[in-house]
Amino acid sequence: MRHLLDIQSLSQEEISEILRLAENLKEILIRPIPKVPTLRGKLVLLLFYEPSTRTKFSFERACKVLSADTMSFSAKGSSLEKGETILDTVKNLYALGVNLLVIRHNLSGTPHFLAKHLKIPVVNAGDGIHEHPTQALLDLLTVKEKLGTLSGLKVAIVGDIKHSRVAHSDILAFQKMGSSVYVTGPAHLLPEPKEREFFEVKSGGFKVCYKMEDALKDADVVMALRIQRERHGEPFIPALKEYAEIFGLTPKYLELIKEKALLMHPGPINWGVELSYEMEKYPFQVILDQVENGVAVRMAVLLRFLSGD
């Protein structure tokens, strides 16, 4: 593994290994002084071309716990505004001695493009509508912690599957670990029939449901996704009110899912749209656990790439 670009190219063993490492590293975070010198002297470039709060700070926190230095880059006010290409920008930054690049970009495949041209590891922190591998890994870690297993589960993902890189990574990740994934939402925001073959990692492991009930019934894990209005480029949803009424997760659905089913959301949440306000009180809601586990997973990823040099 030279880079972490997507879940699709990871084997079950590689995923398990990262999760094991993250579980071990999590202990550091609860120490009185949560900092170890393991990556001292390493320089991590955080290249975020899109607004990001949790992912960016999660990576930054992970770097700092492991004593790696960080350089943050914001497209605004940079040489990009003077017309420089992303490749030239990154090559220049690489020349400053960067050991690892974390990139978030609004265009699918940008991390792959940079990985082709760079000698350092590239970690995809979300690219367009393609994938968000570390988010899927932290979701796996959270489910494993809470339910004790990643196999034999029914995972329901609700919402804009088509434009969600989180969903794309999760669909693959949960199936690779032995669970089944059911997706539901407005039909035009679900994978096209011709595209579905890709998401079927194993037979029966992936299903598209047009009725919310079919996806949610007996689910062990329910993940609500944010409506990605910024990615649509055109009005895909007639009205948020209708979306909230039909596809929003409300207490009425609690009857369908398993008693102790986990409720997840990759954030940021539009309360009252994909999740009704009442759901904030749902006892098995693990949204902040996901955020916490994000740091551990990213520590594991950084360590995997940078500790051997």
Partner 1 sequence: MKILLKKGRILDPSSGLDFVGDLLIEDGNIRGVERDIELSEKNITMLDCQGKLIFPGLVDMHVHLREPGEEWKEDIESGTRAALYGGVLRVACMPNTKPVNDSPEVTSYILKRAKEKAWVTVYPISAITKGQEGKELSEFGRLKKAGAIAVSDDGKWVANSALMKRALLYAKNFDLPVISHCEDPFLSFKGQINEGKISAKLGLKGIPSSAETIAVIRDLLLAKETETSVHLAHLSVKENIPFLKWAKEEGIPFTAETCPHYFTLTEKEVEGYNTLAKVNPPLRTEEDIYAIKNALKEGYIEVIASDHAPHSPLEKEVEFELASFGMLGLQFLLPLSFNLVREGVLSELKLLEYMITNPSKILRVTPPSFKEGALAEVIVFDPEEEWKVTEEIIQSKSKNTPLLGKTLKGKVKMIILQKTIYRADT
109 belongs to the binding site for partner 1 (CB under 8 A): yes
82 belongs to the binding site for partner 1 (CB under 8 A): no
Say which DSSP state 269 is in. Answer: -
Of 195, 213, 218, 245, the one binding partner 1 (CB under 8 A) is: 195
Beta strands in the chain, from DSSP E residues, in sequence order: 43-48, 69-74, 100-105, 122-127, 154-158, 180-184, 206-209, 221-224, 262-264
CA dihedral over 192, 198, 201, 204, signed as positive or negative: positive
- What is the torsion angle, in degrees rounded to the nearest 10, for the CA atoms of residue 48, residue 172, residue 282 and residue 18? -70
Contact 154, 135 (CB under 8 A): no
Binding letters toward partner 1, positions 213-232, x by CB under 8 A: --------------------
Of 13, 81, 197, 255, the one binding partner 1 (CB under 8 A) is: 197
User: 3-state SS of the chain: helix, strand, coil percent to 5?
Assistant: 45, 15, 40
Comparing CA positions, the residue from 131, 207, 206, 215 lying closest to residue 166 is 131
261 belongs to the binding site for partner 1 (CB under 8 A): no
Size of the residue set binding partner 1 (CB under 8 A): 29
104 belongs to the binding site for partner 1 (CB under 8 A): no
Question: In this structure, what token pair is assigned to residue 115?
Answer: 């990985």
Contact 105, 130 (CB under 8 A): no
CB of 86 to partner 1, least distance (A): 7
131 belongs to the binding site for partner 1 (CB under 8 A): yes
Q: Rank residues 196 and 304 by Cβ distance to partner 1 and give the closer one.
A: 196
Of 233, 235, 283, 308, the one binding partner 1 (CB under 8 A) is: 233
Strand ranges of the sheet holding 100-105, from the earlier edge strand across to the other edge: 69-74, 43-48, 100-105, 122-127
Q: Rank residues 192 and 255 by Cβ distance to partner 1 and give the closer one.
A: 192
From 20-28, 33-41, 105-113, 277-285, span contacting partner 1 (CB under 8 A)? 105-113
Q: Rank residues 119 and 194 by Cβ distance to partner 1 and give the closer one.
A: 194
From 56-64, 129-137, 208-216, 281-289, span contacting partner 1 (CB under 8 A)? 129-137
CB of 5 to partner 1, least distance (A): 10
- Which segments are annotated as binding site for carbamoyl phosphate? 54-55, 104, 132, 135, 267-268
Axis crossing angle, helix 133-147 with helix 287-306, rounded to the nearest 10: 120
Q: Which residues, listed in sequence order, are joined to residue 211 by a DSSP beta bridge?
A: none
Positions in 8-27 near partner 1 (CB under 8 A): 8
Of 77, 81, 95, 192, the one binding partner 1 (CB under 8 A) is: 192
CB within 8 A of 6, min separation 6: which ones?
124, 130, 131, 133, 169
Q: Residues in the site for partner 1, rule: CB under 8 A?
A: 8, 85-87, 105, 107-110, 112-113, 116, 127-131, 165, 168, 191-192, 194-199, 233-234
